[in-house]
Amino acid sequence: MKKIIYMLFAFAVIAVNVNAQQSDAERLKTFVKELMSLSNEHIQHEKQGLESGDVDSSVNQYLVLKTLDDLGYEAVYEILNKYEVLDSEELFGIPMAINTIDGERQVAVFMDEKNSIFVADWYKGCTVLYTNFDIIELFTQGLIMSKLGLDGFVSDIVYMGNEQVRGFGQNMAVANALHKDGVAIVENGGNEKGRTQYVIDADELSVGYIEETEEFFISMPKEQFEIELERGSIYTWMQQILIPSNCKEYFSNYSLTFITPAVAIEEYMMNYLPKEEWLVEGYPKGVEDIYKQKYPGGTPAVFCMRSESKEGYESWIKDIYFLFNLNLKDTYNNLKVVQRANRNGKRYVQFYGDGSTMLTILDIPAENTCMMLLTVGTPKEFEEAANLYSVNGETGILNKCIVSINQDGLNLRLKDPDSKESNKNSANFEFGLKNKFLE
């Protein structure tokens, strides 16, 4: 009985495969026929053995199609677009061999032992070639393509392939030279002094958006980033109560930003120092050492979290909706409600209390968006904490800055000695909760 079941299963699998092959073959046939049907004054055709559009594997057949004007281009492009020719890595079961995109044209070549499809799109016109043979294989076997009028395609493909092989060789050569010279090379496993240790995986990557500056950022876990949780109760409360249970999926569901004084100094230095200098030399001197220092004081910090999907929003809001129902002066976990408002279906609530902690939450159900900003500590505390860090033996780095923490985030601005105006060297962490509420 088992054997019969296995056999039936095997037949089913074979049948599915045959169907898939037939489907690919049929679709290829339709594609060729559709191209054949475009014979008019806008499109030039050259063909051999494809009078009816039927593909016959026993004879060499080909079709070359070139657009002559905009109308021709639109007609061909419609077909290319329909079959996603320029966007696929496989077409009718035929694997992509080459795809190149530059400012002048895009070329896609698909080849197997039975077929070649070549498409060149230079955005004002295009050329399409279909052959029922492997064009390069026949070339290598000595078939003179010029007899078929296809030598241009062969040389084009060979040239593109050659360029890539050459590029590959150059990369290998450069890497090889670097390896042999051993100059400034860090082999994996070595711990170069001051190297930042990150572990990143796509599942842990978070894409965030700062409304105020219209900037996106990718925030990432930083394993060795340890902080002294002197304000432990607030952090524990925040972790246990406010962060939803499916937060592990925050790659797509949430964006998180956590800023401590060390992060602020690093960001400030990265902005303050000429980028062209540290891009070449590596991290600004001294910045690398910031995270090696054990945090010397309390832990003022800014934390922002935002839902990035409907799933994230729904999962999170059911845990925190009750906070919006508290009245002014109500307290929760030693934080007192100091502001609350509803406007156009949006809800906004702000708490203040223990340890100069400010918590702001914004709910926009219509946009499936929930944002939370938590600042722990005053600007003064933040500045003092940052100033305890040593950068190149120097402390008091943020004495050069104006530090402000408000309900929309943290702002560090360089004090300009000649003017009351701050200059552009600043580190801004703006989250835009208030503006979003008032929109």
Partner 1 sequence: MCLLPLGAIKAQSVPQPNLTPDEVAEYVSKMTEFKNRGDSSAEAFIKVVAKIKMEEVNYVYISTAMFKQIFSLMDEAAEGNGNILASIKSMRSFASTSKNSYKALRAYMDIFLFEIDEVFGMQLQMVNKDDDVYMAIYSDDKNLLVINDDGDTNLYVVFIAGLSYELFMKIQESGFPIMGL
Grouping H, G, I as helix, E, B as strand and the rest as coil, residue 389 is coil
**Residue with Cβ nearer partner 1 (50 or 242):** 242
- The CA distance from 82 to 76, in Å, is 10
- The CA distance from 379 to 332, in Å, is 23
**Residue with Cβ nearer partner 1 (72 or 261):** 261
CB of residue 11 vs partner 1: minimum separation in angstroms? 26
Residues 6+ apart with CB under 8 A from 383: 398, 399, 401, 403
**Residue with Cβ nearer partner 1 (122 or 216):** 216
Q: How many CB atoms lie within 10 A of CB 385?
A: 23
CB of residue 95 vs partner 1: minimum separation in angstroms? 6
CB of residue 378 vs partner 1: minimum separation in angstroms? 20
CB of residue 152 vs partner 1: minimum separation in angstroms? 17
- Which residue type does 46 have? E
CB of residue 160 vs partner 1: minimum separation in angstroms? 7
Q: Crossing angle, helix 379-387 and helix 261-272, to 10 degrees?
A: 70
Grouping H, G, I as helix, E, B as strand and the rest as coil, residue 342 is strand
CB of residue 325 vs partner 1: minimum separation in angstroms? 20
CB of residue 68 vs partner 1: minimum separation in angstroms? 26
Grouping H, G, I as helix, E, B as strand and the rest as coil, residue 433 is helix
Long-range contacts of 201-209 (CB under 8 A, 24+ apart): 202/251, 203/251, 204/251, 205/251, 206/250, 206/251, 206/254, 206/255, 206/256, 207/255, 207/308, 208/255, 208/256, 208/257, 208/306, 208/308, 209/255, 209/306
**Residue with Cβ nearer partner 1 (182 or 393):** 182
Closest to 135 (Cα-Cα) out of 61, 52, 228: 61
CB of residue 269 vs partner 1: minimum separation in angstroms? 10
**Residue with Cβ nearer partner 1 (291 or 340):** 291
- The CA distance from 332 to 323, in Å, is 8
**Residue with Cβ nearer partner 1 (11 or 169):** 169
Closest to 412 (Cα-Cα) out of 216, 256, 283, 272: 272
**Residue with Cβ nearer partner 1 (167 or 345):** 167
**Residue with Cβ nearer partner 1 (142 or 417):** 142
